[in-house]
Structure 1
Amino acid sequence: MQDYEKRYRELRAAGLPGWAGDCHAGNRLKLAAMLDDLQQSGLLPPAPCPALELGCGNAAMAALLLAERGYGVHGIDISPTAIGWAHQIFKAAGLGGHFIQGDVRAMPDFGTASFALVFDGACLHCLIGADRGLCLAEVRRILEPGGIFVASTMCGPPRSPEARSRYDAERQCLVDVGIPTRTLRPLPALLAELREAGFDIVDRRIRRNPWWDHATIVARPAPLLQNL
């Protein structure tokens, strides 16, 4: 948590708009286009249903875009500075939003089947190993039976020499100073992981990049098998 908190304090002190720093505006345009495409394709539940962004940061990306589209927005992030900042951004925009500081691996503040939409705000790829399964189990719990989970995540394997030099193929992670920092799984592995966590895949799409790709996967909870 300390690294994320430190980053948000630095961003705010520098007067930058969010996690991506100077790239914020461009990334926001790409995300807005992706959300528009998902809406026009009928893949998102209609507003004003309740929506949660995982790893919302200061809520200046997906949470803000969803609120502008009329969704009842909630957000969770591990950084208290980011959450305080999120409240201020929504207040300044005249929008309603509910944001809590917490851990996506365990979200007791959110009741079972309480969201029609859960959006991964580039959070899932920050989780390593078993932490990913804990998060996905919580997402399945808090989603309505017909709800939608959008995983917006880094997708491997890496392409650039710099990224390949930091890639642990066995663990499918980027490693910095011996510590895994980002999960970078190929698309088939990502889809299998979601299915194993109890999701049906509705749609998947890839944005190609020179360093690694970015996957947008739309899924919904698979029906529970009834005892006969």
Structure 2
Amino acid sequence: MQDYEKRYRDLRAAGLPGWAGDCHAGNRLKLAAMLDDLHRSDLLPPAPCPALELGCGNAAMAALLLAERGYRVHGIDISPTAIDWAHETFEAAGLAGHFIRGDVRTMPDFEAASFALVFDGACLHCLIGADRSLCLAEIRRILQPGGIFIASTMCGPPRSPEACARYDVEHQCLVDGGVPSRTLRPLPALLAELGEAGFDIVDHRIHRNPWWDHATIVTRPASRLQNL
């Protein structure tokens, strides 16, 4: 948690708009276009349903875009600075939102079947190994029957020489300073992982990058588990 907290403190002190720093505006435009495309494709539940962003940060990306579209927005992040900042982001925008500091591997503040939409705000790829299955099980618990979970996640294998040099092929993750830092699984492995966690794949799309790709995967609770 300390690395995330330090980054948010540094970003805020530098007067930058969010996690992506100088790239924030461009990333926000891409995310807005993606959400609009999902809406046109009838892949989003209609507003004003309850929506949760995992790893919401300062709520200046998916949480804000969803609130502007009429969703009842909640967010969770491990950084206390990010959560304080999130409340200020929404207050400045004149929007209502509920944000809590917490761990996406266990979310006791949220009751079962609380949300029609859960959006992974580039959080899932920050989880390594068994932590991912813990998070996915919690998402299944808090998602309403027929609800939508969108995984917005890094997708491997890497392409750039720099990324390849720190890629652990066996464990499908990037390593920084000898420590796994980001999960970077190929798309077939991501789809299989979500299926094993109890999600049906509704749609998936890939955004190509020179270093690695980014996947947007739309899922809902597996039909075979709906009544369990």
TM-score, normalization: structure 2? Answer: 0.98
| 1: CA distance, partners of 2:19 / 2:226 | 41
The one-letter amino acid of 1:219's match is T
Q: Helix, strand or coil: the match of 1:200? A: strand
| 2: CA distance, partners of 1:84 / 1:43 | 31
RMSD: 0.9
Q: Structure 2: where are the runs of 5+ without partners?
A: none
Q: Give the match for residue 84 of structure 2.
A: 84
| 1: CA distance, partners of 2:17 / 2:91 | 15
| 1: CA distance, partners of 2:140 / 2:97 | 22
Q: Helix, strand or coil: the match of 2:150? A: strand
Q: Give the match for residue 149 of structure 1.
A: 149
Q: Helix, strand or coil: the match of 1:47? A: coil
Q: Give the match for residue 15 of structure 2.
A: 15
What are the residue-to-residue correspondences of 1:10-159 with 2, within 5 Å? 10-159=10-159
The one-letter amino acid of 1:2's match is Q
Residue deviations 1:108-149, cap 9 Å, x none?
A: 000000100000000000000000000000000000010000
Q: After TM superposition, which residue ranges in structure 1, 4 or more long, deviate above 6 angstroms?
A: none
Q: Helix, strand or coil: the match of 2:204? A: strand
- Would you say the 8 A contact 2:154–2:184 is kept in 1? yes
- Give identity over the alignment, percent: 85
| 2: CA distance, partners of 1:49 / 1:177 | 42
The one-letter amino acid of 2:70's match is G
Residue deviations 1:182-223, cap 9 Å, x none?
A: 000000000000000000000000001000000000000013
- Would you say the 8 A contact 2:55–2:120 is kept in 1? yes
Q: Helix, strand or coil: the match of 1:182? A: strand
Structure 1 residue 226 displacement after superposition: 6.4
Size of the alignment, in residue pairs?
227
TM-score, normalization: structure 1? Answer: 0.98
Structure 1 residue 225 displacement after superposition: 7.3
